[in-house]
Structure 1
Amino acid sequence: MTSRRDFLRTVSIAGGAVAAGTVSKVAMAALPEPVIQTAPDTMPPLFPGTGRPYNPVVTLNGWTLPWRMNKGVKEFHLVAEPVVREMAPGFKAHLWGYNGQSPGPTIEVVEGDRVRIFVTNRLPEHTSIHWHGQRLPNGMDGVAGLNQPAIPAGKTFVYEFVARRPGTFMYHPHADEMVQMAMGMMGFWVTHPKTKHPLIDEVNRDFCFLLNAYDIDPGAYTPKIMTMLDFNLWSWNSRIFPGIDSLNVRLNDKVRIRVGNLTMTNHPIHLHGHEFLVTGTDGGPTPKSTRWYEVTTDVAVGQMRQIEFLADEEGDWAFHCHKSHHTMNAMGHDVPTLIGVDHRGMAKKINKLIPDYMVMGERGMADMTEMEMPIPDNTVPMMTGQGPFGSVEMGGMFSMLKVRRDQKPGDYSNPGWFRHPPGTVAHEYKGPALDATRSKAAGSAAMPRARGGDVEVQVRKPSAKSGH
């Protein structure tokens, strides 16, 4: 944690500008101390010591930013700065974020709170913050050049507005946005209802995380900021499996999970073993007439989805994006498919030149989890993670919901692997094998194929006089 004295030595605030509004001299007399967090673990919920009470969220592999009360105003201090984020054990990325991490800390407030956020820029270029989904004065919306001057490097701006409606929101830059978001600058915002709300139920556990993606070459540290779609690391809160913590709950807990998408594609988020309702978006709580049970919900770019369910099935349940290449870690996108190709003769010849050469892909890619193939220093295997029965063969956007009857209320620690009751685990069949009987009940095609003569494609090369 950085002390306020050291912080003020390194950041000049004498010329700090105010973002589209005036703030009292009392508020500007002394900044709130910036709280810095660098550990990648899921931190316990931050219960409010001042202001209106609420049931706090738990940020997956993240934390909630503390505040101070100043004459009835909640004051926060965000520091935009370069950070080092451990994406998985043994793999670190050089990103940009807030207060020591990417994503930045979650901001939690209550409906009706007046909020004042000091933003200090330690980046090598200017920045701003857009409060995604908030109703606020236009000059506080954070689009550099349109609503405010950009925050120069080394300066501090202040935003102030009332959190007018409860819901699930985000914050991110709106200055050099493509670069800064590709470098990891984003964070979560939750506004809790001030009183009992007809569309917002009370829950026992409330989790949140952001979906983000990076293109970092194996062995490198810094994302490729010019990548448009071809990312090789799909992450939750800038973590990839097996570095993503599990969501640990008590049997029969009412659970809420809030997910925000700041990648460049959609993500069908799928939960095993339970059905859930989509109870909210970044537009607010959904009307009850629009809710129906499902096990997968698609989260499009720039959207928030809030799901709720009763955790009434014990076990270790997979929770992941259902795009299969999003549950893989760094991989090549131009690798040919070699399934069914017999490498044996060629492999012997290549081994004479390259003794460590290994055949990959002739039976699928599952062998990758068993090979001890050397990889660059700063990366992780494409498929990894050891479960109680062997390799899980996953990466990227994958975690687990761990439901236990003996998990104590308020206990978010990992309970270890589930102990399956006898007779409840799939196992090998050792009875007599039976010959397959082919069905003759299948109907014919809906429409017969039109048969004509053979077609030969004739290609005529243009002459030099054709002008082509």
Structure 2
Amino acid sequence: MFSRRGFLGTAALVTASAVSGRVQAAAIPEAPTMDKAVMQPPLHPTSGPDYRPVVTLNGWSLPWRMNGDWKEFHLVAEPVVREFADGMKANLWGYNGQAPGPTIEAVEGDKVRIFVTNKLPEHTTVHWHGMIVPAGMDGVGGLNQPHITPGKTFVYEFEMKHSGTFMYHPHSDEMVQMAMGMMGMFIVHPRDPAFRPVDRDFVFIMSSYLIDPGTYLPKVNEMTDFNMWTWNSRVYPGIDPMPIRLGDRIRVRIGNLTMTNHPVHVHGHNFAVTCTDGGWVPESAQYPETTTDVPVGAVRAFDMLADNPGDWAFHCHKSHHTMNAMGHDVRNFIGVSRKDLAKAVGKLAPDAMVMGSTGMAMGNMEMPAPDNTLPMMTGTGQFGPIEMGGMFTVMKIREGLGRDDYADPGPYNYPPGTVAYEVDAPAAEPARQPPAGERKTKPSMKGMKM
């Protein structure tokens, strides 16, 4: 785990001759790394304009150093091992020890210098998605710059002309490198801290993978049939909860570098989309939502008043995206006699388990699976199995949380009489009233001739 004090005070320096490209950079700053897959505390600024820093689900913000009036960062593109959740790890490519890479934070008007060192087995670049930069800094290999070959370091320099929510990712062998997890978020805070302030600011990026059960390496040529849908390369129950103080105004920033759109839904509240990767949405154009669709290659940020205490589901509303290791070539056996099916299957596969004749609920079902494979639906709440996976977490809204307290507050203490409950009802089929249009009535005698 990095030490920000050590990074800012005793940065390791190397001669400028090691840098390919901009010789103005006098030395290369050290590259902090992270070995934990849990949300790190916000990285508050120690100089320059004040701002509310973001927190990254299962991630962290990259420390920097000041060199004159330049804010300097160092990204290292390298192979990494990422734990999707307890029981499954994947061999990915990322930055500074993790995939996705660390969140980069800057302020509108900052001059930033970003060193990128390539420790991959092939060349790479970095594109600053949505940001207005000089053409030679845009990061499309072959078009805007030479590719960064293995072992080399390049420098990107530009001024942050606009605040907003952006991403970074390669534009070299893009199909492979993004499918291997190379991506991250880039937050540019307004120079005026009074511009649309919030109390808590969350960020994450969405990615998808096809990893066969029992294996560790994504299939990078896949276009549509993914089985792991992730937030910051984590799946539920490995995705951090979101602790929120009751009454806080929060912002959630979401980047999408998967191969499909995601309708992201919040329970118990409404919100307004306030920012995209193109900039801030004027207040006159905002309207209330409980679900917002995040297109491919886009960013959506929404602001929400956390005024309803409790544990609230927050997830993608595509049901297959809230499952892990989802197999898609599975027949539907609902309504099929389990006894007859088991007899037929048993002749061919004596150890097979017949399932699905009454549905696929898996909360109380344990099935053998290869090593390094997660159940499709998992996680447990105070009332039993949650039966979710993939793109799912919980907003935990509580009274009394500290300003920078992001520790899991545990299960919600429901006030008496506020939990749905079972009633005593006869086991027999209850009487049902037919729809109005189907009710049988006696014909009226009025107006009939006798």
Tell me the TM-score normalised to structure 1 length: 0.88
Deviation, 1:241, is 0.6
State whether residues 12 and 155 of structure 1, in contact with CA within 8 Å, keep that contact through their aligned partners in structure 2.
no
Distance 2:364 2:226 in 1: 25
Q: Does 1:393 align with 2:396?
A: no
Q: Does 1:122 align with 2:126?
A: no
Deviation, 1:47, is 0.6
Q: Does 1:16 align with 2:29?
A: no
Q: Does 1:79 align with 2:73?
A: no
Q: Report the equivalent of 2:274.
A: 279
Unaligned runs of 5+ in 1: 444-468
Distance 2:306 2:223 in 1: 38
Matches within 5 A, 1:373-392: 373-392=367-386
Q: Does 1:319 align with 2:317?
A: no
Deviation, 1:94, is 0.3
Equivalent residue for 2:437, pick from 423, 426, 441: 441
State whether residues 123 and 153 of structure 1, in contact with CA within 8 Å, keep that contact through their aligned partners in structure 2.
yes
State whether residues 341 and 354 of structure 2, in contact with CA within 8 Å, keep that contact through their aligned partners in structure 1.
no
1:208-267: CA deviation from partner (whole Å, max 9, x where unpaired): 000110000111101000000111000000000110011101000000000010001000
Q: Report the equivalent of 1:228.
A: 223
Distance 2:399 2:18 in 1: 56
SS in 2 for 1:181: helix
Matches within 5 A, 1:291-310: 291-310=286-305
Distance 1:292 1:397 in 2: 25
Residues 136/423 of structure 1: CA separation in 2 closer, same or farther (3 Å cut): same
Q: Does 1:238 align with 2:241?
A: no
Distance 1:105 1:285 in 2: 23
Equivalent residue for 1:336, pick from 331, 338, 355: 331
1:358-377: CA deviation from partner (whole Å, max 9, x where unpaired): 111111110x3322211111
State whether residues 50 and 69 of structure 1, in contact with CA within 8 Å, keep that contact through their aligned partners in structure 2.
no
Equivalent residue for 2:397, pick from 400, 403, 416: 403
Deviation, 1:352, is 6.7
Q: What is the aligned-residue RMSD (CA, Å)?
A: 2.1
Q: Report the equivalent of 1:132.
A: 129
State whether residues 51 and 193 of structure 2, in contact with CA within 8 Å, keep that contact through their aligned partners in structure 1.
no
SS in 2 for 1:153: coil
Q: Does 1:205 align with 2:200?
A: yes
1:2-28: CA deviation from partner (whole Å, max 9, x where unpaired): 899xx999x99845321xxx441xx23
Q: Which residue identity does 2:286 align to in structure 1?
A: R
State whether residues 88 and 239 of structure 1, in contact with CA within 8 Å, keep that contact through their aligned partners in structure 2.
yes
Q: Does 1:247 align with 2:242?
A: yes
1:79-100: CA deviation from partner (whole Å, max 9, x where unpaired): 0000000000111000000000
1:118-141: CA deviation from partner (whole Å, max 9, x where unpaired): 000000000000000111110000
Distance 2:180 2:61 in 1: 21
Distance 1:178 1:210 in 2: 17
State whether residues 170 and 182 of structure 2, in contact with CA within 8 Å, keep that contact through their aligned partners in structure 1.
yes
Deviation, 1:408, is 2.1
Q: Which residue identity does 1:152 align to in structure 2?
A: T
Deviation, 1:332, is 1.4
SS in 1 for 2:150: coil
Matches within 5 A, 1:352-431: 354-366=349-361, 368-431=362-425
Q: Which residue identity does 2:210 align to in structure 1?
A: D
Distance 1:8 1:68 in 2: 11
1:328-385: CA deviation from partner (whole Å, max 9, x where unpaired): 111211111111111313414644775532111111110x332221111101000100
SS in 2 for 1:441: helix
Distance 1:222 1:349 in 2: 36
- Runs of 4+ displaced beyond 3 Å: 1-4, 11-16, 348-356, 431-434
Q: Which residue identity does 2:436 align to in structure 1?
A: K
State whether residues 128 and 168 of structure 2, in contact with CA within 8 Å, keep that contact through their aligned partners in structure 1.
yes
Identity of matched residues, %: 60
Q: Report the equivalent of 2:64.
A: 67
Distance 1:186 1:283 in 2: 18
Q: Which residue identity does 2:249 align to in structure 1?
A: K
Tell me the TM-score normalised to structure 2 length: 0.92
Deviation, 1:196, is 4.4
State whether residues 13 and 154 of structure 1, in contact with CA within 8 Å, keep that contact through their aligned partners in structure 2.
no
Distance 1:177 1:12 in 2: 31
State whether residues 141 and 172 of structure 2, in contact with CA within 8 Å, keep that contact through their aligned partners in structure 1.
yes
Q: Report the equivalent of 2:443.
A: none
1:11-56: CA deviation from partner (whole Å, max 9, x where unpaired): 99845321xxx441xx23x211110102100100001123322110
Q: Does 1:146 align with 2:129?
A: no
How many residues get paired? 431
Distance 2:84 2:15 in 1: 32
